[in-house]
Structure 1
Amino acid sequence: MTDETNGWESLDWKKELARNIIGVDQLAGYAAFSAEELSKLREVEQVHPVNIPRYYLSLINADDPRDPIRKMCFPSAEELIVAGSMGETTADPYGDDKHDKGNGVLHKYDYTALVVATECCAMHCRHCFRRRIVGRPGNQLLKDFSGAAQYIAEHPEINNVILSGGDPLLLSTPILQKMLSRLAEIDHLDFVRIGSRIPVTFPIRLFDNELMDVLSAFNEKKPLYIATHFNHVREITPTSTEAVKRLRQCGAIINNQAVLLRDVNDTPEALVSLMNRLLGIGINPYYLYQCMPVSRVRHHFQIPLRRGIEIVDTARAKLNGYATRFKYILGHDIGKLEICGMSDNNIVLKQIHARSGHGEQASRIILLPLDDTAGWVTL
């Protein structure tokens, strides 16, 4: 299958979503697995379920067992590894639990509130840092948006809100409209962000005219930003390009937050292709995250920081000014840290966000010794 020949744009998104490949047994109809592999993958799906749209499956080169698209959506026996040579792992690398205000609201930075609006995603990405909640209802999820909106309204220091999850664009259009309408009424909010991988994994959703009308109407009241997540240039297809165009026609500004992933985009050439193509479809390269030390993710997706710095520096030397604007980031428990480079054997970090109550840490420079294998830093 190829993206150009399937008429994805004309499909009913709800009906197509119901045709997702769910579970290892269904996936076995699309790829060859040995009996031993199937046994291990059935263990894997107990801790992170399999869920792949047919659209995203169509992007895989079936003749390449190391295909980067396949790696991001197919379960792997390596997900059974919870400790190993890369170091310790955690189920909550971003420290969400510490900043949980209830009813889906995470308030880590004074000026930003994140609302975990849903546990549902169109696809269960294998590198997901919130895999402990995706596809699994839990205590951190939104129960009643009026309670979340009330918290935001009562905290005038909050000037922007991120609707996250899961994937908010997978909510029904009427529910999303109610959320956005309530946020539009809060005077001290300057803008709203929606974090979504829908443009990448399930762009079919964005051909719903009703959804586009809702986003356009909100953008008339407050600026709307979409934070999306393309990791590889082959995820940029004619269908996703047209879907992004529709978002831009709504007035949304689209920024990309990629993750540096082993055997997916961990070469200068892969990053150059990705950043250039993003600009070519009207998306701003914004962040490139170091893969977090997530349980059942770190040991097959994370690369050493020293190697990551070399890859990023080499790529930047081949990119134009707009394409180099992305920051190489550690999404750390203490706040976001920009990875600036190496000085002798020290990694140079700049803290660009600080947690509430730790304002003195913002903008500080941090130098830490770094060996060749370290994939994360302890602070």
Structure 2
Amino acid sequence: MRASSRRVAAAAVVGLLAAGCASAGQIDPEGTAASEGLDATATDAVLVQATQDNNLLDVVVARGVLNCGVYGAAVAFSETQPDGSTTGFDADYCRALGIAILGDAEAVNFVPLTSAERFTALQSGDIDVLVRNTTWTQSRDTALGFDFAPVTFYDGQQIMARTSDGFTSDSTVADVAGATVCATAGTTTEKNIADAADAAGIEINLRTFEDLDIITDNFITGACDVMTTDGSGLVGRRARQQGDQEWAIFPSSPFSKEPLGPVYLPNQSEFGDVVNWTVYATIIFDEKGITSANVDDLARSGRLDTEAVRLLGGVGELQTRMGLRPDAFYDVVRQVGNYGEIYDRHLVPVGLSRAGTPNALWTEGGLIYAPPAR
């Protein structure tokens, strides 16, 4: 469905919310600007002006496509499919941003990046936002100077080994003494496992590789006794590649904190606000039980509270002040769903439950929390 068609459908619901205002216009993501009353020359001029003004939100709108950096090989988070499409939890947050900014889930250019490439791609402007299992750390926040959006997944580093080698889910870091441990080069995992080994008073043979595909291949063939990365990555690899082997993940409590979420350049407050509040909107909709399946019915029912009405584009909405359409977040929940829907669609099938983890809503004992939309 084209963006213009979706705006017609959305307008009916927003009207029921008594918004009293029409959706803002936008440039066609495929460049057919003439259909919106703009010729190509005018579009190019807008893009040039936006670039000169150094306003990333305007640049993305003028360009008509969001460049989103992903991994492309992270099971359940971002996986490049044989047909060239990208699926997963992170990929759906890229789509949510494409919907919020441009009104179109297809107006996203997915850019697969290795760990070594990701920050350079962001700094150089090759991508607008990085949604690639990236840990929020002090050095990345300060020395590298990036800005981090709200955490979308709370992770922690663990170890995976073969049960045939005597490892179980009750094993500890101390049990890998003398083992060849494989980790991703240039990431937090490399330093974390070295620190954990020191804390346990053991020596390990640490080998690093550029990406998790190479590590997993070496683990399967036995070149690595154990492999280590964020727990979510290990769970995903086990679900997809364990085969005839049996792999144990341990220790039960991760030995690091790995808060993951979108990353963008500093000094881009308008763009940053859009990234942040797109994430927050999915969380608030999750809190309120507003889903892709029921949002239209709830809007017609008149049973929504004032916060939900505002967030969906009704009376008191704040999206237009952010440079978005009033119904931008309505489009997001209708097309990709709330936080829980995105999570359940991609992460639960590989064994990553929310229950009893920090990724549960704050009302259910977790850390997933959003400030009020007012």
TM-score bucket (shorter structure): under 0.3
- TM-score, normalized by length of structure 2? 0.25
Higher relative contact order (CA 8 A, sep 6+): 2
- TM-score, normalized by length of structure 1? 0.25
More helix by share: 2
